[in-house]
Amino acid sequence: MTINVLMPALSPTMEQGKLAKWLKNEGDAVKAGDVIAEIETDKATMEVEAIDEGVLARILVPGGTENVAVNTPIAVIAGEGEDASAVEAPPAAKAPSPPTAPQDEAGEANKARLEASAQAAAPQAKPVSVAAPPPVSAEPEVPAGTTMIPMTVREALRDAMAEEMRRDPNVFIMGEEVAEYQGAYKVTQGLLQEFGPMRVRDTPITEYGFAGIGVGAAFAGLRPIVEFMTFNFSMQAIDHIVNSAAKTLYMSGGQVHCPIVFRGPNGAAARVGAQHSQDYTAWYSQVPGLIVISPSNASDAKGLLKAAIRNDNPVIFLENEILYGKTSEVPALEDFVLPIGKARIARPGTDVTLVSFSIGMTYALGAAEALAKDGIEAEVIDLRTLRPMDTDTLVESVKKTGRCVAIEEGWSQCGVGSEIAARLQQEAFDYLDAPIARVTGKDVPMPYAANLEKLALPSVAEVVAAAKAVLYRG
């Protein structure tokens, strides 16, 4: 039986890479675990291992080939006893269409948005004072009958920044690789071509430096968006974030505002190691003066990032690398802005409340589906904003269900779930029929090995077990 060797991904967001070289030749015997090739991107190099024993019958992609798409067959291993010379190559993958100009790379979601906008023939929005952004009604967030279009989280974030940069000339973005490279995760794709290098600025690899410049620009009246390639690197800049951005309004007696957004991926991705996998939600949500937002889908990502850019306070906008490529529906509205500090009921229920945010919502919603098969209707709440936290929505849900499970990928001690439990004990104690349960990341630095990394993170099964425990169902 022949085995196709596929082009692997260095990260969940990698789409293509270079097959640097082959370390084995056609006809060589290989064993499982043998390194047969090397692939690379501009950021990393990875070894390709044989996944079974046999003979390297065919090399389908020569060494040195650029832009090899992930999951493309690159070689064929013949099983024991097979005639390697008789092995046929698998059907060639359909060639990718040639890329368009960067400003046209918005994808089908952006195309649909433009078409919907043209059909509506909506007039241009009137200029709005940046100093006093218009209030946003929380009910309803999306008017009935609104056209919805599919969009990835990556596209939603880019559109939010582009719309706000068109609206307000004081908005600009800075960070590592945001301009010429179109963003480390392609979130800023096309912005340099539209707005130019003065407003889309590549920076040196010095978070302490460019975060400080961003804070100073905000003090001077601009509205910077500072992108961290990962929030793990924000530790280099945390003095500017906490001691300058968060505290200056208070220390100046309300005279000096700091309208700045710090954004980028937060928490675990996939096999990036302990120093690139930490969840900083609890860290930043403890700090007075900061607003902390962590969306779970494209619609919330767009509406809340636009609100964050318009806010006169420093905002920590925590994204998730795994979610960048996830598609969901976004309202095709001329100016879609969501209220900061308002949770969303993602799934109504009556038996138990599941509370999470960001990628934790995948565990919560997955558990709700599984529980429904056992006749348990879970209400799922997406916090969306961690500071300020929407305690009222949590309390009203627990009044109805009497039980609560809080889910997060961060560590247990002093985590977001701890705060949720404390607030519900304080404000809804008489309605609770069971102790509040928490499902969190395990109390270890994130392992690099894929099997251990999976065990260190929450799972749907753990959330289901916690929900049944608070319901006293075995």
Tell me the catalytic residues: 207, 276
CA distance 152 to 163: 16
Q: How many angstroms separate the Cα of 56 from the Cα of each of 31, 60, 69, 88?
A: 10, 11, 21, 12
Residues found in the chain: 474
Spatial CB neighbours of 78, under 8 Å, sequence gap ≥ 6: 2, 54, 55, 57, 84, 87
Neighbours of 19 (CB within 10 A): 24
Cβ(4)–Cβ(51) below 8 Å = no
Q: What are phi and psi of 416, to 5 degrees?
A: -60, -40
User: Any idea which residue has 């951005």 for tokens?
Assistant: 245
d(C-alpha 365, C-alpha 354), whole Å: 8
CA distance 270 to 93: 26
